[in-house]
Amino acid sequence: MATSEVQTVGTTGEKIRLALVAVLVIAGLAAYYMLSAQGVWVQWGGLLVGVVAAVVVFFTAESGRQLVAFGRDAVRETKKVVWPERKEALQITLYVFAFVVVMALFLWLTDKTLEWVFYDLILGWKK
């Protein structure tokens, strides 16, 4: 059973970095709207500069390094997966489709049977 730890930002430096990330994103958005009179390229450039700066600051913070480590671990674990052969994947897919069709028919028959019992036999409401 896997245990998950709740990790919080503890140091003041980390809090300042993450606050700076938020400020840079907001500054990029503000630049986008404030530079609308300068043209589309300048407007998008201001947004891009703010977001790229925020991403750079984020990945220098501990939270960013943990995110990169998590991504590397996820890729490493994905490489360990034994994927099914094409024939096996098609068989499993056909089994799933067949089950869905059978279940749909069962539910439709159950619905129609209950409708007949309640409306025709018990209540006498003929359609």
Are 41 and 68 in the same domain?
yes
Are 90 and 102 in the same domain?
yes
Residues near 9 by beta carbon (within 8 Å), at least 6 away in sequence: 15, 18, 62, 63
pLDDT score recorded for residue 111: 97
Share of the chain above pLDDT 90, in %: 76
Phi, psi angles (nearest 5°) of residue 4 = -115, 135
- Establish if 6 belongs to a structural domain: no
Q: What is the pLDDT of residues 9-21, one digit of tens each?
A: 568 888 899 999 9
Are 70 and 110 in the same domain?
no
Are 66 and 38 in the same domain?
yes
76: containing domain:
11-81
* d(C-alpha 88, C-alpha 99), whole Å: 17
Are 20 and 62 in the same domain?
yes
pLDDT at residue 84 tops 70? yes
Are 56 and 22 in the same domain?
yes
Are 37 and 89 in the same domain?
no
Q: What is the pLDDT of residues 88-104, one digit of tens each?
A: 999 999 999 999 999 99
- Establish if 73 belongs to a structural domain: yes
How many CB atoms lie under 10 A from the CB of residue 54? 19
pLDDT score recorded for residue 12: 86
Q: DSSP secondary-structure letter at 35?
A: T
Are 37 and 17 in the same domain?
yes
pLDDT score recorded for residue 105: 98
pLDDT score recorded for residue 120: 86
Q: Number of folded domains in the chain?
A: 2
Q: What is the pLDDT of residues 50-81, one digit of tens each?
A: 999 999 999 999 989 999 999 999 999 999 99
pLDDT score recorded for residue 123: 85
Are 72 and 87 in the same domain?
no
